[in-house]
Structure formats: structure tokens, C-alpha cells
Amino acid sequence: MPLKTMPKSRVRVEAARLKAYFETLGAIDVETDILLPAEVLLDLYGEDIRHRAYVTNDPARGEMMLRPDFTVPVVQTHMDSGADPARYTYAGEVFRKQDDLLDRAAEYIQVGYEVFDGSNPAAADAEVFAAFSDILSPLGLRAATGDIGILMAAVRGLKTTETRRNALLRHIWRPRRFRALMNRYSDKGAEMREENFARVRANMAANNAPAIGLRTETEILDRVMALSTDAAEPSISSSEIELLNDILSLKETVPHVLSALRDIAVDMDAILPAVNQLRARVDALDARGVDVENLEFETAYGRTSMEYYDGFVFGFYAEGRADLPPVATGGRYDALTSVLGHGRSIPAVGGVMRPAMILAVQEGAL
Amino acid sequence: MTIKLGIPSKGRLMDKTFDWFAARGITLKQTGAEREYSGAVEGIDGVELVLLSASEIPRELAAGRIHLGVTGSDLVRDKLVGWDTKIGEMSVMGFGHADLIIAVPKAWVDVDNLDDLDAAASAFRKRHGFRLRIATKYHHLVHEFLKANGVADYQLVDSQGATEGTVKNLTAEAVADITSTGETLRANHLKILTCEPVHKSQATLFKSRTAPWSDADRATMFELKQKLELGD
């Protein structure tokens, strides 16, 4: 039966089956509101979420959003409960506008599994992936994995100013701007950096406009100073840029990636802890019976679609159907819990699946 | 059956549209009293004139209630999600030029392009605890543009008029608006970013892909295309 005409009643039955499965793994069933205050989500995801989620206005409560995903309300529920460690499962509708892909569903049921357990992150990552892999195995899906933590560790280890490292980290999830920044801080950007500062100096000399708006003169001068400092600062070395490119282009099976990363770590020891973390995760996956020898790994996987995922990331796809959304996705999102907890970090890893897609794949009706 | 041609019901856009068709041997006329919204077409049979607000033409085309329509390409792209699945562009008309641009206070000596805007937005959010506000009525186009260019830490706030005044009134830090001469921007101490405009708009003749096209309509359309010297 095609995805679009799949009756909701059937999808609900499948969702209940999946949720029951996660309960046997020790997860507690949680419910969250469908109508969520928009403020938290907007602050977290910015303008993108406004264009993906349904926003509505309540004269008393302000802007409200139809639940675009479960992550935020489940994390909030967990933070209020104080339980630690904890495992949760849920099933329910999420709502997404599909501006660019009009044929995709705007309302569909998701089932999820989230693990809040900081005692052994590698083991928790493996636990979530194996749980998904096991229940999805009859479908013959293609699994994709990645680890945003490796790129982040490489950026944090760059021998350059903290300002530059922070600017790159801020754009980890926006490859195009990340690339532009890399170029600007490299040798080929040296001239551009000088020109930038010269341009701003010329603007200052010519400026006779009144200061208007909330952004103050001090803030403007701070940025001018930053541009001046950056123009005087040496470039990030071409060898470091090359290593970053090597890391970004890694796409291989896990054993090959591990050996390539160990080579890179010889010249860039800052990534060692992240590589060791990957190794520990691979061992934990192996111990859970996952075929790690043939597991695909791509360093850049999840960079465009999964802001706030800052470690392990994974997805399961119907083979040969790159046009369809993934059947399941997930990953580690410590950065998100840290923002929601105002600095109080709670290690968290989890994932979601779409029961309607599972049914469709089962029937080969895609 | 007749082909319904929707054109803007007043102002320069209407006059220029009349001129454009007249230059191609088709006379469009407002009939009745000057302010009455009914019209006539001479020079071709089977075409009916419908006078509408320019901002309603995209919606009417998408719904298939009119077959052809003249409006700004900015309105079509901002108001219609997946616009090119519902309507098609037949001809740009060479008037009604206006650019959708992003402007910031001229006093921001450190901001000339999108790199600068992104950096300023990041610092602004840290300092003020909320995202840098850009006032606009073109939410879809501006969001797509900033997303494609990887700008972060901004938010769009709705402004349906007098957008250039929002910075001075402290309801926004920057604006995204249509301009042809930039005069209003300068008068409000704003400058246009040096990047390509978000969208270069001009009056365009569009065709509905959803309207019913009978055989007679198709024949009329063929004749109309010949007169307008448009290919397929």
C-alpha cells in the first residue's frame, strides 16, 4: 500500500508494536503535549523551524507550535523528573510543512527511543543503534552512520585564535558557510582579510550617518577590532586545512575509517579522544552483534539536517530510494540538552522511526 | 469558454500592462466608469479581462480561476510554495523592475555583505539575548535566501508597511524590502548590502497550470502567443 494512502489505524497498530518493543528494553512510556510554546523551539532552531513547523497564535499564551518533533518536550520532561539514568519511548503525530517537497506528508506518526545515561556514552550509543538495527533488520535497509564529534574535535584543536575556532564551530551544521570560513582563514584568504579591514576603515572615515537602532556603537567598534585582529593574525596552516579536508571527505566502512583517522591523528592529536570514542563505540556495537566490518561511516553525515547532534549520528534508508525520507534517524545530542538545561548538561542519545514507512517497505509498496 | 486574463486593477502597473499588450496589437480597456473593475479585450476573440489586485493574482492563477495573469515575480515566488508546479512564466515584460534587498543602518561601518551580517548577528545575539531581527513582508524568499547563504542567528519579524522605519523605532535591526531607487532607504539612514539581491523582480505574464484548458481555449492561446510573439 503506498505511503500516502496508508490508513492511520494500521500505522497506529505498528507504532504500538514498536513502542512495546522499546518498553521491553526498559523504556518508560512518555506522553507530551502536541501544542508547544513556540519560544523555546524558536530560540533553539531559529528561523528554520518557523518555516518547517506550524505556528499558531494564542492571544493569552502567545505563539504556539504544533509539535515538530519529540526531542525538546521529552528532554524537558526528563529534566523535570530528575530520574537518572532513564530510558523513554513515545509514539505520536509530528507536524512539518513540506515547502520544498509538497508530496511528503505534513503530518505523520513517529515512534522514538531516548536514553539519558552518562555513565558510558559509547555503550549508550551502541545500545540505541543496536535496538534500531535489530527491529529494522527484516526490512533490509541501508544503515548510514557518522560522528559530528570528530569534526568538532578537529576544529577545537586548530592552532589558531579562539575567535576563529568558535566561528567555525558555530557553522559546523552549515557546510557552505563553514567552507567559506575555512577559505577566509587559510592562506588564500589572507588578502581577503586585509581587504575586509581596509574596507571597514574606509567606511569609518566616510561615515556621517546617525547611529540608529539597538546595535550600539560599542558593538560596531568591537567587530571592527575583531576584523583588525583577524587581518593581522597568521593564516591557518595549509597542512591543517588539508587535514580538515581529509576528515571531511572520509566515507568508507568503519574499519577503514578508523585506520584513516588514526593516520590523521598522528598529525592532529586533538582528534585522538574523539577517535578513541569512535573505537569504543565500534567495540560496543560489535559486542551487540552489529556487523561493524560492513557498516558505512561518513564524517560529514548529518551535518546539514541534524543541528545540535554533536556526536554519533545514524540513519536507516530504503535501498535505492534516495528520494524518500529516512525510515529512522538518531544520534547523540548533548549540545541540545546543555542549551535547554542552561548549561546543565545531560548526556543523551536516541532516535525516531516512522511506522508508516516501515509498513510500506514491508509490503514492497514504495 | 474564454481565457481569463488577470491584470492589476490600478496604477502604473495597469497602465504599463495596457501599453505592453497594445504594442502587440491587443487593446485592453477598462469599461464603464473609471473606478469600475470591468474591462474588454479587442484584437483577439475568446479572451476575457479580469481586473484584480496585483497581490491576489498569484493565488488566482494557482487556484486556476484565471488562465493568465500579470504580476510581479516577487509576489509569485513569495506567496506560492512550489510556484513553478502550479504556474508557468510566459514572458517577462520589461517594466515594474524592483529588487528585494537586505539593508542595514549606514552607521554599521563593519557590515557590507552577508559574511558581515552573519558575524554581526552572532555577536548581537550573545549581547542582547535574542536573535537579530530583520523586518520584512517577504518571509519565504528572505528565509530561503539566508538559509542558502548559511546566515544564522537572525529572525524575521513581520512588517507590512513603512518597513524602513522599523530600525529607528527599535522593532528591528535590519530590513528586507523591495526597492527600485533606494531613496526611502537612504532617507532612513539605511544602506543596501553589496551581495546579489534576494530577488530581482519585474512584471511578468504568467500562465496557470491548474486552470481548465478546453480545445477552444488552446486555439485562442495559440493565436495569443503568435500575437505576443512568444514561443512555447
pLDDT digit string, tens, across residues A44-103: 888 888 888 999 988 888 899 999 999 999 999 999 887 889 999 999 999 998 766 656
Residues of chain A with C-beta less than 8 angstroms from the C-beta of B82? 99-100, 102
Does the N-terminal peptide bond of residue A85 adopt cis geometry, omega within 30 degrees of 0? yes
Summarize the confidence of residues B8-28 as an average pLDDT: 92
Nearest to B173 among A174, A213, A217 (CB): A213
- With CB atoms and an 8 Å threshold, state whether A213 touches B155: no
- The reported pLDDT for the residue numbered A102 is 59
pLDDT level of residue A344 (50, 70, 90 thresholds): confident
Task: Give the B window 101-140 contacts with A, CB below 8 Å.
Answer: 105-112, 115-116, 118-120, 122-124, 127-128, 130-132, 139-140
HEC readout, chain B: CCEEEEEECCHHHHHHHHHHHHCCCCEEEEECCCCCCEEEEECCCCEEEEEECCCCHHHHHHHCCCCEEEEEHHHHHHHCCCHHHHEEEEEECCCCCEEEEEEEECCCCCCCCHHHHHHHHHHHHHHHCCCEEEEECCHHHHHHHHHHCCCCCEEEEECCCCHHHCCCCCCCCEEEEEECCCHHHHHCCEEECCCCCCEEECEEEEEECCCCCCHHHHHHHHHHHHHHCCCC
The whole-angstrom separation of Cα A289 and Cα A283 is 10
Nearest to A46 by CA among A224, A174, A158: A174
Nearest to A223 among B123, B143, B156 (CB): B123
Residues of chain B with C-beta less than 8 angstroms from the C-beta of A200? 109-110
Nearest to B110 among A46, A184, A227 (CB): A227
Calculate the CA A62 to chain-centre distance.
28
Summarize the confidence of residues B36-48 as an average pLDDT: 86
- The reported pLDDT for the residue numbered B85 is 86
Residues of chain B with C-beta less than 8 angstroms from the C-beta of A51? 139-140, 143
The whole-angstrom separation of Cα A141 and Cα B77 is 38
pLDDT digit string, tens, across residues A203-249: 999 988 999 999 999 999 999 999 999 999 999 999 999 999 999 99
Q: Is the pLDDT of residue A195 over 80?
A: yes
pLDDT digit string, tens, across residues B165-219: 999 999 999 999 999 888 999 999 999 999 899 999 999 999 999 999 899 999 9
The whole-angstrom separation of Cα B62 and Cα B84 is 10
- The reported pLDDT for the residue numbered B185 is 94
Q: Is the pLDDT of residue A130 over 90?
A: yes
- The reported pLDDT for the residue numbered A312 is 96
- The reported pLDDT for the residue numbered B36 is 64
- The reported pLDDT for the residue numbered B27 is 93
In angstroms, the separation between the Cα of residue B136 and the nearest Cα of chain A is 13
The whole-angstrom separation of Cα A75 and Cα A80 is 9
In angstroms, the separation between the Cα of residue B108 and the nearest Cα of chain A is 6
Residues near A234 by beta carbon (within 8 Å), at least 6 away in sequence: none
Summarize the confidence of residues A137-163 as an average pLDDT: 95
Q: What fold does the segment set A1-137+343-366 form as a domain?
A: BirA Bifunctional Protein; domain 2 (3.30.930)
Residues of chain A with C-beta less than 8 angstroms from the C-beta of B81? 99, 102
Most A CBs within 10 Å, among B77, B110, B114, to test the A interface: B110
Instruction: Evaluate whether B3-96+202-228 and B98-200 have a shared fold.
Output: yes
Query: CA neighbours within 13 Å on the CB side: how many for B110?
Result: 21
Cell numbers of B203, please? 512584471
Q: What is the pTM of this model?
A: 0.87
- The reported pLDDT for the residue numbered A100 is 61
May I ask the CATH class of domain B3-96+202-228?
Answer: alpha beta
A200 vs B: CB within 8 A? yes
The answer to whether domain B98-200 has CATH 3.40.190.10 is yes
Show me where the domains of chain B are located: 3-96+202-228, 98-200
pLDDT level of residue B82 (50, 70, 90 thresholds): confident
B29 vs A: CB within 8 A? no
Nearest to A46 among B108, B150, B155 (CB): B155
In angstroms, the separation between the Cα of residue B153 and the nearest Cα of chain A is 7
pLDDT digit string, tens, across residues A322-337: 777 899 999 999 988 9
CB A328 within 8 A of CB A67: no
B145 vs A: CB within 8 A? no
pLDDT level of residue A304 (50, 70, 90 thresholds): confident
Q: What is the ipTM of this complex?
A: 0.86
Q: Is the pLDDT of residue A305 over 80?
A: no
A262 vs B: CB within 8 A? no
- With CB atoms and an 8 Å threshold, state whether A177 touches B149: yes
Nearest to A207 among B107, B147, B168 (CB): B107
Handedness of CA B8, B9, B12, B17 (dihedral sign): positive
Q: Is the pLDDT of residue A269 over 70?
A: yes
The whole-angstrom separation of Cα A39 and Cα A342 is 15
- With CB atoms and an 8 Å threshold, state whether A209 touches B147: no
Residues near A155 by beta carbon (within 8 Å), at least 6 away in sequence: A165, A168, A169, A172, A244
Cell numbers of B2, please? 474564454
The CA R_g of chain B, rounded to the nearest whole Å, is 21
Q: Is the pLDDT of residue A366 over 80?
A: no
- With CB atoms and an 8 Å threshold, state whether A102 touches B189: no
Nearest residue in A to B150, CA atom? A177
